[in-house]
């Protein structure tokens, strides 16, 4: 922070705190997508689409429609009319499988004005794809193919597309229903499968010696799958006030206690207060209950968590064609379930940023009070791209443990869990311990 002096603490207030930000009613209505000609199909959703609200104060969310102009059914190439459309990972565009025509969806944050000034956020603003899931809404939806009239089923747990078994056209689901299957936006893959395979092979290759022999035998990085996982992206406008005490070391010296030397420290203690506004941008939280469970004794979901962050700002309007050739996982968590963890993480981000103003306190700061008042928040649901290699390890007693090696589909960041050959590791550790004990006893005996 440029208005701080880290070397010499000073006293007194330096800047007035502004009043709470004005209402965020200026968020523009969503812009219709330039969709290629379509022949919409009818859909029986069993539920109703979220209703846009003009404004809402307090805890009532204001919903920004993010599926305006989106249509279910046959999404055709604007040039040749084919429905064989998929992502060209190399360019990040949608590409027609027949005529090779390429196009891209609009940037989602710009299209829906979801990247507006965080300082002007007040209350709760929610993308319509982040609305609460209504349990009665079916997860398996039936569409009528507008090309041949056949009924086609889409299991929204894994995809929002299906191929008509009669006429072979691809049907897409782009309108949002209240089951969490269609998010506000999607971040397309830019890391190609070959690159992901290479990264996974390299990661595991460095961990072969103590790897479980069955894993080594069965490991085949070509089995990696591209998965769009559901996340909530949150912007937060908050005001904070932290009070506590900090210590600055003034002297360090050695004293004799008996026949031993010991370190001693002198320090100055200060009462410390920081009051500020904070804008948190694109805080990203898993919105699948399975992925939120990151107990490392039961699963390796922390691996997928580790490969964040993503370049959220490059997300585009949701189009099911981006999912072609990939799988997806449906969001099953609502705002009320995700708000506590998002706010706790926002408080962590705040504490971390405030530390930049505390460099003078080289012995540390103890906060006695941390008040973070969230004045405005904006929630947008997103599918984010992950290359996932999974390995189901069979353990004694019929138990299994699912290991993941994950690659961020945008940045290429790679992390993984490789099953360990416990017997081999314990044996080598025992040998190390044996030698260590001998050397350690000698060193202790001579007082080193």
Partner 1 sequence: MINYTLMVAAGTEIFAAGSSDDDSGGLGLVFLLSGFAFYTVIYLRYRNVDKRHRHEAETEAVLLNLEEQDVFVASKKGLTNSRMSGANSTKVHGALRKFF
Alpha carbons 125 and 438: distance in angstroms, whole number: 65
Q: Which uninterrupted H or E stretch holds 95?
A: strand 93-96
The correct pick among 364, 373, 394, 402 for binding partner 1 (CB under 8 A) is 364
- Residue ranges of alpha helices (H) inside 59-163 are 108-111
In the bound state with partner 1, the residue whose beta carbon lies nearer, of 136 and 369, is 369
Residues 52-91 that bind partner 1 (CB under 8 A): none
| 216 in contact with partner 1 (CB under 8 A) | no
Longest dimension (CA), the chain: 94
In the bound state with partner 1, the residue whose beta carbon lies nearer, of 136 and 297, is 297
| 383 in contact with partner 1 (CB under 8 A) | no
The correct pick among 49, 147, 150, 267 for binding partner 1 (CB under 8 A) is 267
- Scanning 45-53, 74-82, 90-98, 346-354 for contacts with partner 1 by CB under 8 A, the matching segment is 346-354
The correct pick among 168, 264, 359, 394 for binding partner 1 (CB under 8 A) is 264
Answer whether 106's CB lies under 8 Å from 317's CB: yes
| 337 in contact with partner 1 (CB under 8 A) | no
CA distances from 421 to 64, 145, 209, 428 (A): 52, 52, 9, 11
Number of alpha carbons in the 13 Å side-chain half-sphere of residue 24? 31
In the bound state with partner 1, the residue whose beta carbon lies nearer, of 79 and 353, is 353
In the bound state with partner 1, the residue whose beta carbon lies nearer, of 51 and 444, is 444
Residues 400-429 that bind partner 1 (CB under 8 A): 415-420, 425-426, 428-429
Minimum distance from residue 294 beta carbon to partner 1 (Å):
4
In the bound state with partner 1, the residue whose beta carbon lies nearer, of 68 and 370, is 370
Alpha carbons 120 and 19: distance in angstroms, whole number: 11
Alpha carbons 298 and 393: distance in angstroms, whole number: 12
In the bound state with partner 1, the residue whose beta carbon lies nearer, of 33 and 272, is 272
| Tokens (6 digits) for 216 | 């080594």
Within 10 A of 335 (CB to CB), how many other CB atoms are there? 19
Residues 98-127 that bind partner 1 (CB under 8 A): 119
- Scanning 25-33, 72-80, 148-156, 287-295 for contacts with partner 1 by CB under 8 A, the matching segment is 287-295
The strand pair at 73-75 and 170-172 is best described as antiparallel
| 210 in contact with partner 1 (CB under 8 A) | yes
| Tokens (6 digits) for 448 | 């080193």
Distance of CA 291 to the CA centre of its chain: 10
Number of alpha carbons in the 13 Å side-chain half-sphere of residue 435? 5
The correct pick among 56, 216, 341, 390 for binding partner 1 (CB under 8 A) is 341
| 32 in contact with partner 1 (CB under 8 A) | no
| 201 in contact with partner 1 (CB under 8 A) | no
Minimum distance from residue 329 beta carbon to partner 1 (Å):
16
Distance of CA 356 to the CA centre of its chain: 25
In the bound state with partner 1, the residue whose beta carbon lies nearer, of 160 and 357, is 357
| 392 in contact with partner 1 (CB under 8 A) | no
Q: What is the DSSP string of 204-224?
A: HHTT-TTB-HHHHHH--GGG-
Residues 288-307 that bind partner 1 (CB under 8 A): 292, 294-297, 300, 302-303, 305-307
| 283 in contact with partner 1 (CB under 8 A) | yes
| 358 in contact with partner 1 (CB under 8 A) | yes
In the bound state with partner 1, the residue whose beta carbon lies nearer, of 153 and 428, is 428
| 399 in contact with partner 1 (CB under 8 A) | no
Measured torsion, CA atoms of residues 134, 135, 141, 142, in degrees rounded to the nearest 10: -90
In the bound state with partner 1, the residue whose beta carbon lies nearer, of 111 and 342, is 342
| 42 in contact with partner 1 (CB under 8 A) | no
End-to-end CA distance of the chain: 45
Answer whether 38's CB lies under 8 Å from 85's CB: no
Q: Phi/psi at 267 (nearest 5 deg)?
A: -150, 155
The correct pick among 351, 375, 390, 411 for binding partner 1 (CB under 8 A) is 351
Answer whether 414's CB lies under 8 Å from 200's CB: yes
| 361 in contact with partner 1 (CB under 8 A) | yes
Minimum distance from residue 446 beta carbon to partner 1 (Å):
8
In the bound state with partner 1, the residue whose beta carbon lies nearer, of 80 and 292, is 292
Alpha carbons 156 and 382: distance in angstroms, whole number: 15
| 6 in contact with partner 1 (CB under 8 A) | no
| Tokens (6 digits) for 276 | 């500020």
| Tokens (6 digits) for 92 | 């990040």
């Amino acid at each position: 922070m440029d208005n701080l002096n880290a070397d010499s603490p000073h006293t007194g207030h330096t800047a007035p705190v502004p009043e709470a930000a004005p209402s965020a009613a200026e968020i523009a209505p969503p812009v219709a997508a330039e969709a290629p000609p379509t022949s919409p199909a009818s859909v029986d959703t069993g539920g109703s689409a979220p209703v846009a609200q003009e404004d809402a104060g307090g805890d009532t969310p204001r919903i920004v429609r993010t599926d305006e102009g989106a249509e279910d059914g046959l999404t055709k190439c604007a040039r040749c009319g084919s429905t064989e459309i998929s992502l060209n990972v190399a360019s990040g565009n949608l590409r027609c499988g027949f005529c090779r025509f390429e196009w891209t969806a609009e940037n989602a944050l710009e299209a829906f004005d979801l990247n507006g000034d965080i300082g002007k956020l007040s209350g709760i603003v929610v993308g319509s794809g982040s609305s609460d899931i209504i349990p009665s809404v079916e997860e398996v939806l039936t569409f009528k193919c507008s090309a041949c009239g056949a009924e086609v089923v889409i299991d929204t747990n894994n995809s929002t597309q299906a191929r008509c078994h009669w006429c072979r056209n691809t049907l897409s689901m782009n309108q949002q229903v209240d089951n969490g299957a269609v998010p506000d936006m999607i971040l397309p893959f830019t890391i190609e499968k070959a690159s992901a395979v290479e990264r996974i092979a390299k990661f595991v290759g460095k961990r072969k010696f103590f790897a479980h022999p069955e894993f080594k035998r069965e490991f085949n990085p070509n089995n990696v799958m591209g998965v769009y996982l559901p996340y909530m992206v949150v912007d937060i406008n908050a005001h904070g006030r932290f009070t506590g005490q900090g210590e600055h070391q003034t002297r360090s010296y050695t004293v004799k206690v008996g026949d031993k030397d010991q370190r001693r420290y002198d320090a100055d203690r200060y009462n410390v207060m920081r009051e500020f506004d904070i804008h948190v941008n694109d805080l990203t939280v898993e919105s699948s209950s399975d992925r939120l469970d990151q107990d490392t004794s039961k699963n390796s979901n922390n691996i997928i968590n580790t490969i964040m962050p993503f370049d959220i700002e490059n997300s585009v309007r949701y189009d099911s064609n981006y999912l072609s050739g990939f799988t997806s996982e449906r969001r099953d968590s609502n705002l009320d379930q995700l708000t506590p963890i998002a706010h706790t993480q926002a408080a962590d981000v705040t504490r971390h940023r405030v530390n930049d103003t505390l460099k003078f306190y080289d012995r540390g700061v103890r906060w006695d009070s941390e008040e973070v008042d969230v004045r405005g928040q904006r929630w947008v649901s997103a599918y984010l791209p992950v290359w996932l290699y999974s390995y189901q390890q069979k353990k004694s007693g019929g138990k299994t443990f699912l290991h993941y090696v994950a690659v961020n589909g945008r940045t290429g960041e790679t992390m993984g869990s490789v099953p360990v050959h416990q017997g081999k590791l314990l044996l080598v550790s025992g040998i190390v311990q044996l030698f260590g004990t001998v050397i350690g006893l000698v060193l202790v005996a001579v007082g080193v």
